[in-house]
Amino acid sequence: MKTDVAGAYRDDAMMEYLKIAQDLEMYGVNYFDIKNKKGSELWLGVDALGLNIYEKEDKYVGVECLTASCLYHGDVS
**Domain count of the fold of the chain:** 1
pLDDT tens, residue by residue, 26-58 = 778 899 999 989 999 999 999 877 888 999 888
Q: What pLDDT shows up at residue 2?
A: 44
pLDDT interval class at 1 (50, 70, 90): very low
Any idea what the CATH number is for the domain that residue 56 is in? Answer: 2.30.29.30
**Of 50, 56, 49, 61, residue with least CA distance to 32:** 56
- The residue segments making up the domain with residue 58 are 2-73
pTM to 2 decimals?
0.60
pLDDT interval class at 73 (50, 70, 90): low
